[in-house]
Amino acid sequence: MLDMSAGGLLIQVPEPLAAGARLELAMDWTGLYHGRQAMRLWLIAAVTRTGRRGAGLRILSHRFRDAGPARVRVPRSEKNLAVA
C-alpha cells in the first residue's frame, strides 16, 4: 500500500487492474481499536484508475475483525487436486 485515506487507497500492483473491478483486501491494523491490540481491517474496494504509481481504489465497505491466523482461500477448482 502506498497511500490511504478514509475513502480510498493507492496500492502497488504487478499488473494493471481493470477500472470497475472489485477487490477484497485484508491488512493488519496496528494500535488499539476498542481496547484490542491485534485487529485486521477487511475492505471491499473498486478500482477507479490504474497508472504508473499504482491502482487507485475507492473503499466501498470496511470491517474490523480480530486478527487470527491468516487464512488463504483455495479456489473451488483446486480443492480436489491430489499432491504427489
Taking only the tens place, the pLDDT of each residue in 49-73 is 999 889 999 999 999 888 765 555 6
Q: How far apart (Å, rounded) are the C-alpha atoms in residues 29 and 65?
A: 10
For the segment 26-37, the average pLDDT, to the nearest whole number, is: 76
How many other C-beta atoms lie within 10 A of the C-beta of residue 8?
16
16-25, 28-37, 67-76: least confident range: 67-76
Question: Over pLDDT 70: what percentage of the chain?
Answer: 76
The structural domains of the chain, with segments of one domain joined by +, span 3-68
Strands (E), 1-84: 3-4, 8-11, 22-29, 39-50, 55-66
Handedness of CA 26, 29, 60, 53 (dihedral sign): negative
Kindly state the average pLDDT of the residues 25-33. 81
